[in-house]
Amino acid sequence: MEYILNPWPWYISGPLIASVMALLLYFGKTFGMSSNLRTMCSIMGAGKTANFFKFNWKEQIWNLVVVLGAIIGGFIATHYLSNDSLTDLNPITITELQNMGFKNSGATLVPNEMYSMEALTSPKGLLLLVLGGLLVGFGTRYAGGCTSGHAITGLSSLQKPSLIAVIGFFIGGLIMTNFILPLIF
């Protein structure tokens, strides 16, 4: 039981993520989480203002059900399958973050400095979450996929466009973490 309650090692987690892709392909679908954002736009009537959202979203309900399951899975994992072990971060990372004003790194999944209700009441905190969401939503659709669609499915099927997209993900991520985050915090 300890094996389940403790964080899972990368060499178990990676193949399990691939099995999510394999299961969806077995069911005749593809693994792509960002498509749901487009579906939600369509459901809310975005097809009236942009052709991109004019499609039969009912065919995408299965993917929204995956989302619902993922939310439930997140709940189950934290409430029933976890102990209170901390994320085993590199001590250098923890010190670095401490110097930027992040306390208790690894005690939670996301920093309270960004996600707590207190952080939300500051204009800066709210702006960061909105900006981050906008970038993810815009970028992922522009690139035609996210980590699941490009990094996992696209690279597993040896597709060049996905390799270009993943290189883009890393260029953006490296710039944000190494150069922009230190300016923000």
Partner 1 sequence: MKYLKFLLVGVFFGIVLVKSEAVSWYRIYEMFRFQSFHMYGIIGTAIASGVLFLQISKKGIFKSIKGADIFVPKKEKGISRYIIGGIIFGFGWALIGACPGPMYILLGTGVYSMIIVIAAAILGTYIYGVFKDKLPH
Q: Which of residues 137-176 bind partner 1 (CB under 8 A)?
A: 137-148, 150-159, 161-162, 164-176
Q: Which is nearer to partner 1, 123 or 172 (CB)?
A: 172
What is the residue whose two structure tokens read 């909105």?
130
- Measured in residues, the chain has a length of 185
Q: What share of the chain is helix, strand, coil (3-state, %, to 5)?
A: 70, 0, 30
Q: Is 55 in the site for partner 1 (CB under 8 A)?
A: no
Q: Smallest gap, in angstroms, from Cβ of residue 129 to partner 1?
A: 5
185 binds partner 1 (CB under 8 A): no
When asked if residue 25 is in the footprint of partner 1 (CB under 8 A), the reply is yes
Task: Return the number of the residue (1 or 71) whose C-beta is nearest partner 1.
Answer: 71
For the CB of residue 131, give the shortest distance to partner 1 in the complex, in Å.
7
Of 83, 103, 120, 124, the one binding partner 1 (CB under 8 A) is: 120
User: Which backbone phi and psi does 97 adopt, to 5 degrees?
Assistant: -65, -35
- Give dist(CA 171, CA 160) in Å, integer: 17
* CA–CA dist 38, 57 (Å, integer): 9
